[in-house]
Amino acid sequence: DADVTQTPRNRITKTGKRIMLECSQTKGHDRMYWYRQDPGLGLRLIYYSFDVKDINKGEISDGYSVSRQAQAKFSLSLESAIPNQTALYFCATSDSLAGGPDTQYFGPGTRLTVL
């Protein structure tokens, strides 16, 4: 079984709808991340969480919110989806080593299309 899973894998929705993307991990890591990937722009950080009670905004948090329900679960919500949020979304985890996040382990991604 995969260490980091994301659901759904694909989603098509309409402008204005509320969408939740879910991420679960079995690696036992404290740190979890949400990124979006757009062609030519690489990965950009949306939100990150270093433990269950810690939530931090990333580079592009506007229009998104997150919830860290447990050590193993980190969900991303789009309160009112808009077309420019069409992208590939990745969840990732890492261990909590001194010196900052080390190797990140990524889920398979969720392809979201907002019409």
Task: Supply the minimum distance, in Å, between the C-beta of residue 107 and another protein.
Answer: 5
Among 27, 82, 108, 115, binds another protein (CB under 8 A): 108
- Which span sits near another protein by CB under 8 A: 10-18, 39-47, 61-69, 71-79? 39-47
Query: HSE (CB half, 13 Å, CA atoms) of 63?
Result: 13
- CA–CA separation, 105 and 93 (whole Å): 5
Task: Supply the minimum distance, in Å, between the C-beta of residue 46 and another protein.
Answer: 11
- CA–CA separation, 89 and 16 (whole Å): 18
Task: Supply the minimum distance, in Å, between the C-beta of residue 90 and another protein.
Answer: 6
Judged by CB under 8 A, does residue 48 bind another protein? Answer: yes
Judged by CB under 8 A, does residue 63 bind another protein? Answer: no
- CA–CA separation, 93 and 17 (whole Å): 28
- Between 75 and 94, whose beta carbon lies closer to another protein? 94
In DSSP notation, 13-69 reads: E-TT--EEEEEEE-S--SEEEEEEEETTTEEEEEEEEEETTEEEE-TT-TT-EEEEE
- Contact set with another protein (CB under 8 A): 4, 33, 40-43, 45, 48, 58, 90, 92, 99-109
